[in-house]
Amino acid sequence: MERLKALIDKKFENRAEFAKAIGVDPSVLSRMLSSGNWKADRIESAVRVLKIPAKDIPIYFFANEVAKNRTEKEREVV
């Protein structure tokens, strides 16, 4: 979520403005950013508002899963 937070901070004056842009309360956004739990419709809204290319969605929303899968594949090679 660190990359997502950095992108939000770069593109919006503050996180409350981003929360408003995707239609959630700032407290809900805070929980989403802390937990990493995002509903599909909220991911879609964030992708649209932040103009994230489709190929980069996993980097911003599923970084832990991407890293986990990469590590598992590396173990298979060894």
Do the beta carbons of residue 15 and residue 43 sit within 8 Å? Answer: no
Does the pLDDT value for residue 78 go beyond 90? no
Q: 10 Å Cβ neighbour count for 52? A: 17
Vertex 55: Cα angle to 50 and 57 (nearest 5): 50
Give 63's pLDDT tier (boundaries 50, 70, 90): confident
CB-based burial label for 60 (10 Å; 0-12, 13-18, 19+) = buried
Mean pLDDT of 31-54: 96
pLDDT in the model for residue 30? 97
CATH number 2.40.50 given to 2-77 = no
pTM reported for the whole predicted model: 0.79
Q: Rounded mean pLDDT of the chain? A: 88
Could you please report the per-residue DSSP string of 8-27?
Answer: HHHHSSSHHHHHHHHT--HH
Mean pLDDT of 48-64: 92
